[in-house]
Structure 1
Amino acid sequence: MTVYYVALGIGILAGIAGQMLLKAGADAPDFVSQLLRPSTLCGLALYGSAAFLYIIALRKIPVSVAFPSVSLSYAIVAVLGHFLFGESFGIKQIGGIVLIMGGVVLINQH
């Protein structure tokens, strides 16, 4: 069972890295050049990898546990967006992240 949780965890990390790379590629002058940027292509590849790892995780982890666990990526991306891209981060974001993390902890109690 541990291997499936590892696949889920690595999938979540791959999705986070993919999101950061997509954001890094978003400063292109137009949409076509944005799509062709190496950071965008790598970000999309990581999203694809995350999907395959998620499929592996779903073999043994109930979707009612696995899918909400992916929401951890929302919290991590918000924090990384603040530190890497200077995006706003205030009390509302902190409160939302605390709620997400609490929900994931509750859902993963067996």
Structure 2
Amino acid sequence: MMIYYVALGIGILTGIGGQMLLKAGADAPDFMSQLFRPSTIMGLALYGSAAFLYIVALRKIPVSVAFPSVSLSYAIVAVLGHFLFGEPFGIKQIGGIALIVGGVVLINQA
């Protein structure tokens, strides 16, 4: 069973990496330039890998546990967005992240 949780965790981290790469490619002058930037292409590839790992995880983890667990990526992306891209991060974001993390902890209780 542990291998499925490992797949879920790696899938979450891979999705986060994909999101960061997509953001890095977003400073292109137009959409077509953005679409063909190496960071955008790699970001999309990581998203595809994340989806594959999620499928593996769903073989044994109930979707009612796996899908809410993926929401941890929202919290991590918000923090990384602040540190890597200077995006705003205040009390509202901290409160939202606390709620997300608390929810994931509750859902994953045995």
Structure 1-normalised TM-score?
Answer: 1.00
Alignment of 1:34-45 (within 5 A): 34-45=34-45
Task: Please report the RMSD computed on the Cα atoms of aligned residues, expressed in angstroms.
Answer: 0.2
Q: For residues 109 and 46 of structure 1, what CA distance do their matches in structure 2 show? A: 29
| Correspondence 1:80 to 2:80 | yes
Map of 2:102 onto structure 1: 102
**Partners of 1:68 and 1:36 in 2: CA distance:** 32
Which residue pairs with 1:2 in the alignment? Answer: 2
2:23 alignment counterpart: 23
Q: What are structure 2's unaligned runs of at least 5 residues?
A: none
How far off is 1:82 after superposition?
Answer: 0.1
**One-letter identity of the residue aligned with 1:57:** A
Partner residue of 1:89?
Answer: 89
**In structure 1, how many angstroms separate the alpha carbons of the residues matched to 2:73 and 2:43?**
14
Q: TM-score w.r.t. structure 2 length?
A: 1.00
Q: How many residues align?
A: 110
Cα deviation, 1:52-105, whole Å, max 9, x if unaligned, reads 000000000000000000000000000000000000000000000000000000
- The alpha carbon displacement at 1:4 in A equals 0.1
Unaligned runs of 5+ in 1: none
Distance 1:35 1:97 in 2: 30
Runs of 4+ in 1 over 2 A off after TM superposition: none
